Amino acid sequence: MRHTDDAIVNAMSIDVEDYFHVSVFDGIVPRSAWEQMESRVVGNTTRLLDIFDEFSTRSTFFVLGWVAERHPELVRAIAGRGHEIASHGYAHRLVYDQTPAAFRADVRRAKRLLEDCSGHRVLGYRAPSYSITPRSLWALDVLLEEGYEYASSIFPIRHDRYGIPVSGRRPYAIERSAGTLIEVPGSTTRLGPLNLPVAGGGYFRILPYWWTRSGIERVNRLESRPVVFYLHQWEIDPDQPKLHAGSLGRFRHYRNLHQTESRLRQLLTDFRFDTVKAVVSQTRSSVPHPDSMAYPLPYSW
Ligand SMILES: [Zn+2]
């Protein structure tokens, strides 16, 4: 199928980290070894930029500060080609494994680096492995105090490492003492009492493509709103060095890498996309106020 010009504009997002930064390899590739690893982030991200040009699509790139520090020209290239630069933190530490002070230093350092490289204000933050959970809601205050305006960090699903299953499925405002943060969660579809992820990452790679296509169609048509799709740059790289993780980790990381690029092209043919910032501002007026929400907000935990 090919999308029509009046189709809903969804949000596209890419997490820019190298394959060895992924949480599943924590403890397998210690941080002290990162510098010695073969880096593939520039080549893969440049390929994604070329694909987005081909489809006249803009995306948000949640860039790891550690990557920006070593490849400032990459951040400049992403911004220069019309995409949004947002923050994936500096050192890819899970939020709930950090103290509030360490988290503040991490997100501050990343924001400064990315703003210096891109020349634009950084408004968005995505936590490594969606690690804002009931254990780390203090992070929302820190993000506001550090000048972030939106996050894409609370997945409304049940998962072994992340998620708040009853949190909002659509963008929503979170009122905190430090201000109002917009949370833009990864997209899900409802199946009975469950929220099932439909838009990105391992679900896009591991499950057949029709899962993603029908999930996005459901959200676009039945709920009349955009999805937030996400992918990592290493997911289009079947030639990346193989690292040793447990069997579940290996399955999640390596499954179907060789198919992701062609699936992404299909996705960009089937649906329209723009940056997260564009979709947030387009829907900002319809972001539900907490009082009108049918489900409890995460901050009530
Ligand atoms: Zn990440």
Distance 2 CA to ligand 1 centre (A): 31
| Mean of pLDDT over the chain | 87
- Is 216:271 a contact under the CB 8 Å cutoff? yes
Distance from Cα 20 to the centre of ligand 1, integer Å? 10
Say how many Å lie between the CA of residue 294 and the centre of ligand 1: 30
Position with higher pLDDT, 9 vs 24 = 9
Q: How does pLDDT run across 156-190, given as a tens digit for each residue? A: 777 777 777 777 778 888 888 888 888 888 888 77
Question: What pLDDT shows up at residue 292?
Answer: 42
pLDDT digits (tens, 9 = 90+) for 96-116: 999 999 999 999 999 999 999
pTM above 0.75, yes or no: yes
> For 196-204, what is the mean pLDDT?
80
Indicate whether 279 pLDDT > 80. yes
Given this model, what pLDDT does residue 167 score?
Answer: 75
pLDDT of 44:
96
Q: What average pLDDT does this structure show over 197-203?
A: 79
**pLDDT band at residue 287 under the 50/70/90 scheme:** low
Ligand 1 centroid from CA 15, angstroms: 6
How far apart are the CA of 12 and the centre of ligand 1, in A? 15
Distance (Å) from CA 126 to ligand 1 centroid: 8
State the distance from the centre of ligand 1 to the C-alpha of 93, rounded, in angstroms: 9
CA of 208 to the centre of ligand 1 (A): 23
With 80 as the cut, is the pLDDT of residue 291 above it? no
Mean pLDDT of 18-30: 83
- Residue 233: count of CB within 10 angstroms of its CB: 24
Has residue 274 got a pLDDT over 50? yes
Q: Distance from the CA of 40 to the center of ligand 1, in angstroms?
A: 15
**Least confident stretch, 48-57, 108-117, 192-201:** 192-201
How many A from CA of 225 to the centre of ligand 1?
26
Compute, in angstroms, the gap from residue 102 CA to the centroid of ligand 1. 18
pLDDT at 39 over 60: yes
Q: What is the pLDDT of residue 280?
A: 81
Q: Is the pLDDT of residue 294 over 50?
A: no
Q: How far apart are the CA of 129 and the centre of ligand 1, in A?
A: 6
Q: How far is ligand 1, taken at its centre, from the CA of residue 291, in Å?
A: 32
